[in-house]
Amino acid sequence: MQQLSFLDSHSSWTVTDLTRHLRELLESDEVLQDAWVQGEISNLSRPSSGHIYFSLKDSGATLRCVMWRNAAARLNMPLQDGMAVEVHGSLGIYEPQGQYQLYADIIRPTGEGELYQEFLRLKAQLEAEGLFDVERKRHIPELPKRIGIVTSPTGAALRDMLNTLRRRYPLAEVILAASPVQGSEAPPGLVAALQNLDRIIHPDVILLARGGGSIEDLWAFNDERVVRAVFASKAPVISGVGHETDFTLADFAADLRAPTPTAAAELATPVTVDDLRNYLEDAGSRLKAALSAELDQRHYQIDGITSRLRYFSPVRRIQTEMQRLDDLVRRGNAAQAHRLALSSANLRGLGQRLGALDPLGVLKRGYAVLSSKDGKIVSSKGQVASGEDLRARVQDGEFEVRVTGLED
């Protein structure tokens, strides 16, 4: 019976069907389609097609791997046999050979994943402790007198920073505290450099910098000791580690994060020597303008005061009085003249009237005055006797006359 059932065509697979079935099983398993596998590279082969073939193995097993040309072009590290790596990809079956294999899309050195996990753990811990708090970020001084630099004395980073500082703000004094920036000596070296600068130099700002490199090269700047030293620094710290895309924990703890060492030097000198020249020019103009304004103000006041002074001046009053006097005199004279004119006219009238009353005036008109010898004016015939001599007075003299023809 067993024999028969074995021969039953409905209960047997073709190799192709079986293989396809297995392949579908693998490809429908989400875990196997998004897997990280670690092992050691062996049998590495890179034919001219651009695809990469290798095996991953450890002490107990071997896994065939393929990396297609497109993914291989994105590799950022050279591969070689014996290298310990972690490979990401999806599991499938190469049907012609019945070979299950890993179709790789990412390869990274073993340990990077662990490093990253450690990075995240430490970041969370330090963040919880408040080392990255935005509120504690300190202000970067605008005119730093002393700029401390913590970096390698031989790297391009230092040269870039010095050039930038020299160009932007040569008034500063730069003090380098040299330290290794990668390897196991880097963290204690960086910590000592930061502490020494603070303790001995008291810089206004510290640049903590390193040029670009692999993530391992930059790892010292994720070291907890270094991060805590950045946090503890008395001077504000500007970090400029690696390239723009690199973020280290020291960056998070720094008061200001610059994408590169050059940018760190720029951020440390927010005011440049050109700005200073402009400010200086401006201050000079303002100084002159302020003094002119002061003087103008005084002239204005002086003008105001002297015009008031003139108004109330005794000179002015005297002038006024003199003018009034002149005026009075003028008016007085006019009145006087008028009076005199009037008087002389009156006088003439009076004279004429007097003349009319003068008895001598009558004589001029041909009359004569008679008087007796004893001087009495004769105005009646009763006063005289016939033959009596009288004196007659005419306009221009006297003579005697005798009374005759006296009637009774």
Partner 1 sequence: MDKPIEELTYEEAFAELEKIVTLLETGQRPLEEALALFERGQSLGKRCAELLEKAGLKVQQLSGENLESFEEE
Binding residues vs partner 1 (CB under 8 A): 143, 145, 153-154, 159, 162, 165-166, 169-178, 193, 196-197, 200-201, 273, 276-277, 279-280, 283-284, 286-287, 290-291, 293-294, 297-298
Give least dist CB 181 to partner 1, A: 16
- Closer Cβ to partner 1, 120 or 280, answer by number: 280
- Closer Cβ to partner 1, 198 or 246, answer by number: 198
Contact predicate 234/198, CB 8 Å: yes
Q: Is 361 helix (H, G, I), strand (E, B) or coil?
A: helix
Angle at which helix 273-312 crosses helix 314-357, to 10 degrees, equals: 20
- Closer Cβ to partner 1, 132 or 169, answer by number: 169
Give least dist CB 162 to partner 1, A: 6
Query: Where would I find the H helices in 28-155?
Result: 30-33, 69-73, 112-129
- Closer Cβ to partner 1, 192 or 215, answer by number: 192
d(CA 16, CA 11): 15
Give least dist CB 29 to partner 1, A: 58
Give least dist CB 254 to partner 1, A: 20
d(CA 63, CA 39): 9
Give least dist CB 291 to partner 1, A: 4
Give least dist CB 188 to partner 1, A: 16
Give least dist CB 294 to partner 1, A: 5
DSSP labels for 229-251?
A: HHHH-SS-EEEEESSTT---HHH
Contact predicate 388/378, CB 8 Å: no
- Closer Cβ to partner 1, 84 or 291, answer by number: 291
Place of tokens 């002490």: 59
Give least dist CB 199 to partner 1, A: 9
Residue 66 to residues 24, 30, 33, 163: CA-CA distances in angstroms?
Answer: 19, 19, 14, 48
Q: What are phi and psi of 43, to 5 degrees?
A: 55, 40
- Closer Cβ to partner 1, 144 or 187, answer by number: 144
- Closer Cβ to partner 1, 182 or 196, answer by number: 196
Contact predicate 58/39, CB 8 Å: yes
d(CA 46, CA 272): 54
Which regions of 95-159 does DSSP assign to beta strands (E)? 99-109, 146-151
In one-letter notation, the amino acid at residue 105 is D
Place of tokens 């049907």: 95
Contact predicate 230/208, CB 8 Å: yes
Contact predicate 63/37, CB 8 Å: yes
- Closer Cβ to partner 1, 301 or 379, answer by number: 301
Place of tokens 């946090």: 231
Give least dist CB 256 to partner 1, A: 21
- Closer Cβ to partner 1, 67 or 174, answer by number: 174
